[in-house]
Chains A and B, each alone.
Chain A
Amino acid sequence: MNEKTITRLLLVEDNPGDARLLLEMFAEQGSGNTDLMHVESMSAAEKHLAERAVDIVVLDLGLPDVQGLDAVRRARAAAPRVPLVVLTGLDDETLSTQAIREGAQDYLVKGQIETHGLRRALRYAVERKDIEEALFVEKERAHRLNEELEERVVERTAELQAANRELETFSYSVSHDLRAPLRAINGFAAMLARRHGEVLDAQGRHYVETIVSTSEHMGVLIEELLDYARMGRALVRTEPVPLDPLVTRLRATFDQRIAESGATLEVIEPLVTPVGDPVLLERILVNLVENALNYRRPEVAPRVTLSATRHGRRVTLAVADNGIGIPAESHEKIFEVFARLQGDDTYKGTGIGLAIVRKAARLMGSDVTLESTEGEGSTFRLELPAARKGSTTP
């Protein structure tokens, strides 16, 4: 414990009798080189404190120019870094406690002061003030560190935004510049078939058709890769997303596919409204339904079931199918970009659909889970917060 010597003490007391008594006691327990100063009003004290440094202030709370807590406040204002001990009367327990709350380090009850207690009280007041000061310094440091951190965050955000913009330009020119030659490959192959098809034999026409179809496939790949890369560039929204209009659009999109494949798209009502990003959510559902219709068992009519059920404050969205299913060992891999389990000749796909689904889910703070048995079907699930009842309007 660092024993600070109290060399300069300021007593603010207007009652001469009290003052003399206290000064005697201070002198008695002091080490002889204690500088005792005495003033009789707050304004005198303020003047003194403005001109001189002191180690401790002993303050009577009943002064001619200010009393009680106001006195404490003014003393604190005049010397915020100096330990303060207040003098209170016998019946002023409440006032004493309040004084401490206002920033005094201790209080002494007039008429109950004796030398040892006084010495201890003064010393403890100084100790306590030291601790307070140390805390104050720490707080300042923490505040500065916080500001530095904030600055760094702002810098990093700017860097990320710049990188994002770069990605934007890059993705844009990639898509533009890759698609032009693809158009040419596809277009001229098609024209070859149309205008010179008659000089080609069946094999020749097959070659040309393959050029046409694979270049189209590559076009789709580029589109989806671009989508994947750019997803999340726009601010991800968090709002109630009513699912009924979404489902209506889904049905419209897949109407023809559904009819052609003899499939059924079943919706389990009611569809609880989730909170998320409407664009991402729609993308997830479109991709999942697309997969469900695509990866069907040839001998079984595809049956796709869409649901959004409440579990406490969350909604579980699920797209279930009765298709070919996914073997357990591929349940993780299947969400990777370009991951394909099936060959191109059996099932057409880009291998990006589920990567997009997962990225979209994660952008909304969630994730996609898979439950699937090979040869029986798959269920993809996504959990989101449920919109509060009556808040279905975004």
Chain B
Amino acid sequence: MTNPPHTVLVDNNANDVELTVSAFSEVRLASHIDVARSGRDALDLLFGRTVGPDGLRPTLPDLILLDLKMPGIDGFEVLRQIKGAPILRRIPVLILTSSREDRDRAMAYDTGANSYLVKPVSFEEMLGVVTRIQDYWLTINVGPPHADDTGGEART
């Protein structure tokens, strides 16, 4: 895990993005967050096709928070590509969506999502969710070793 942990948030809703980022800061989550506002942007970011503000290719994140319903390339397609890429597939992906539908949950897990979180209406509850993400995924959980994109790739 990088220090501070590096999280990528993928969500097309501007309000939700702002609130999620605010929630992270309200619980003083020590995490650097990169935001992708569309499926396309997310893939560009994760596959290293974009460069960071420092002109360098961003490092692989420790955690990905992924919304499902986005126009164009949706969350399922992003998830499929992440889990299909040897370099990215090990990274824990937490679905963060407003859908509680069975078929979405089924598809998400079938495609390899590591967790499924439903966005609560209540911001207070969201703070609880974010705290637990920090506690579980970024503290207790021992993340995967990153696949080396020059040599030893992740084994299939």
Contacts and interface: CB of A to CB of B under 8 A. Distances in A.
Contact of A190 (B16, B69, B119, B124): B124
Contacts of B16: 180, 183-184
Interface in A149-204: 172, 175-176, 179-180, 182-184, 186-191, 194
Nearest to A219: B121
A186 to B, nearest CB: 5
The residue among A183, A189, A191 with the most chain B CB atoms within 10 A of its own CB is A183
Interface string A194-236: 1000000000000000001001101100000000000000000
A186 B122 contact: yes
B107 to A, nearest CB: 14
Nearest to A168: B101
A95 to B, nearest CB: 69
Contact of A186 (B13, B69, B123): B123
Contacts of B19: 183-184, 187-188, 191
A179 B13 CA distance: 12
B26 interface: yes
A175 B98 CA distance: 9
Contacts of B115: none
A11 B69 CA distance: 85
Interface string B126-144: 1000000000000000000
Contacts of A187: 15, 19, 22, 123, 126
B15 A184 contact: yes
A88 B119 CA distance: 90
A186 B121 contact: yes
A191 B15 CA distance: 12
Size category, A interface: 20 to 34
A176 B15 contact: no
A175 B99 CA distance: 8
B122 A180 contact: no
Contacts of A186: 121-123
Given A183-B15, A187-B19, A191-B19, A176 B99 contact: yes
Nearest to B122: A216
Contacts of A172: 99, 101
A179 B123 contact: no
B69 A182 contact: no
B121 A194 contact: no
Nearest to B22: A191
Nearest to B102: A234
Contacts of B121: 179, 182-183, 186, 215-216, 218-219
B74 to A, nearest CB: 13
Interface in B94-119: 98-99, 101, 119
Interface in B9-28: 13, 15-16, 19, 22, 26
The residue among B19, B121, B123 with the most chain A CB atoms within 10 A of its own CB is B121
Contacts of A189: 123
Contacts of B15: 180, 183-184, 187-188
A77 B2 CA distance: 91
Nearest to A216: B122
B139 to A, nearest CB: 24
A212 B121 CA distance: 10
Nearest to B125: A216
Contacts of B123: 183, 186-187, 189-191, 212
A219 B119 CA distance: 11
A86 B130 CA distance: 94
Contacts of A191: 19, 22, 26, 123
Interface of B: 13, 15-16, 19, 22, 26, 69, 98-99, 101, 119-124, 126
13 contacts: A172-B99, A175-B98, A176-B98, A182-B121, A183-B15, A183-B16, A183-B98, A183-B120, A183-B123, A189-B123, A191-B123, A216-B122, A219-B122
Given A180-B16, A191-B123, 6 more contacts: A179-B98, A183-B123, A190-B123, A190-B124, A216-B122, A218-B121
Interface of A: 172, 175-176, 179-180, 182-184, 186-191, 194, 212, 215-216, 218-219
Q: What 3 pairs between A and B have smallest CB-CB spacing?
A: A219-B121, A190-B123, A187-B19
